[in-house]
């Protein structure tokens, strides 16, 4: 099992394929396994790297607190150890937040960035948002991770043809360490780099599902603050576009990456 000692934890990663490095960052409560559709599609032409963020999957789960900055620093150290050079970074949800932090703090490491169903800030500035996160915390505390997985699966994968994905989602969610999950959840709340995104200079793609938690217009609004950023909409998709619409998502990402190849080193 490929793990590497990073910032006093064992960080799990997988690297397969050859070519330009393409790094995928998963969302809260997820793991590298949820990029399976992308790994299958891209490894014939890219060096695909997936990781389990600290507190998730097969990586270490030390006591908190965790922060988005800490998650990003783990990626920086992994990048150094693997000697990757400039990478294409793709982040979903929490992974998109980590990708934002990474491209802002370490722009020389990022050749392009793709943000999927995410944003540059998570400020609980309405009662609805506060109650939503508090509800998630109490479900986990009172009923456990499997129950939380069922609640999310019913919302994110409700279609009859998604029954197998629905079942798999719940099973994988139930594997989460409760303390590490709650610690990771707290890391998201109050985080923001919204006042710095105008400094991003690499090619940027913002991917939004048409039925995501936050509307397409939200992504369009912050994308307008990033020089040259593009917005792509995945139809008939909810929050987990790489899973619920993998073909459309992969085509969208593939077309974007093809326009911004990493220059070969002499």
Q: How far apart are CA 201 and CA 173, in angstroms?
A: 36
CA end-to-end span of the chain: 33
Per-residue pLDDT of the chain (266 residues; tens, 9 = 90+): 599 999 999 999 999 999 999 999 999 999 999 999 999 999 999 999 999 999 999 999 999 899 999 999 999 999 999 999 999 999 999 999 999 999 999 999 999 999 999 999 999 988 888 998 999 999 999 999 999 999 999 999 999 999 999 999 999 999 999 999 999 999 999 999 999 999 999 999 999 999 999 999 999 999 999 999 999 999 999 999 999 999 999 999 999 999 999 876 54
- Residues pairing with 112 in the sheet: 88
Q: pTM to 2 decimals?
A: 0.97
pLDDT of residue 265: 56
- Token reading at 13: 């990663």
Q: DSSP states of the chain as a string?
A: --EEEETTEEEEEEEESSSEEEEEE--TT--GGGGHHHHHHHTTTEEEEEE--TTSTTS----S---HHHHHHHHHHHHHHHT--SEEEEEETHHHHHHHHHHHH-GGGEEEEEEES--SB----SHHHHHHHHHHHHHHHHH-HHHHHHHHHHHHS-SGGGHHHHHHHHHHHHTS-HHHHHHHHHHHTT-B-TTTGGG--S-EEEEEETTSSS-HHHHHHHHTTSTT-EEEEETT--S-HHHHSHHHHHHHHHHHHHTSPPPPP-
Contacts 24+ apart (CB under 8 A), 247-251: 249/37, 249/38, 249/116, 249/207, 250/37, 250/38, 250/41, 250/42
Q: Which fold has domain 3-122+192-258?
A: Rossmann fold (3.40.50)
Please check whether residue 112 is in contact with residue 90, taking contact to mean a CB–CB distance below 8 angstroms.
no
> Are residues 25 and 90 in contact, defined by beta-carbon separation less than 8 angstroms?
yes
Residue from 191, 184, 202, 205 nearest 57 by CA: 184
């Amino acid at each position: 099992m490929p793990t590497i000692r990073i910032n006093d934890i064992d960080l799990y990663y997988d690297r397969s394929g050859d070519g330009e490095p393409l790094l995928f960052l998963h969302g809260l409560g997820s793991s590298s396994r949820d990029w399976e559709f992308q790994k299958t599609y891209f490894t014939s032409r890219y060096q695909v790297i997936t990781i389990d963020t600290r507190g998730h999957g097969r990586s270490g789960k030390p006591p908190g607190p965790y922060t988005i900055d800490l998650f990003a620093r783990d990626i920086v150290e992994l990048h150094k150890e693997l000697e990757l050079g400039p990478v294409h970074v793709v982040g979903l949800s929490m992974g998109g937040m980590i990708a934002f932090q990474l491209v802002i703090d370490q722009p020389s490491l990022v050749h392009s960035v793709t943000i999927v169903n995410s944003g540059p800030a998570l400020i609980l500035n309405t009662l609805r948002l506060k109650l939503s996160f508090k509800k998630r915390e109490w479900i986990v505390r009172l009923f456990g991770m499997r129950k939380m997985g069922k609640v999310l699966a019913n919302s994110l994968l409700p279609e009859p043809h998604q029954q197998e994905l629905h079942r798999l989602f719940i099973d994988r969610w139930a594997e989460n360490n409760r303390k590490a999950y709650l610690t990771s959840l707290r890391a998201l709340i109050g985080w923001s780099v919204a006042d710095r995104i105008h400094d991003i200079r690499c090619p940027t793609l913002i991917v939004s599902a048409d039925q995501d938690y936050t509307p397409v217009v939200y992504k369009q609004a912050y994308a307008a603050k990033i020089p040259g950023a593009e917005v792509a909409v995945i139809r008939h998709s909810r929050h987990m576009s790489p899973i619920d619409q993998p073909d459309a998502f992969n085509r969208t990402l593939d077309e974007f990456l093809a326009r911004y190849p990493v220059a070969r080193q002499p």
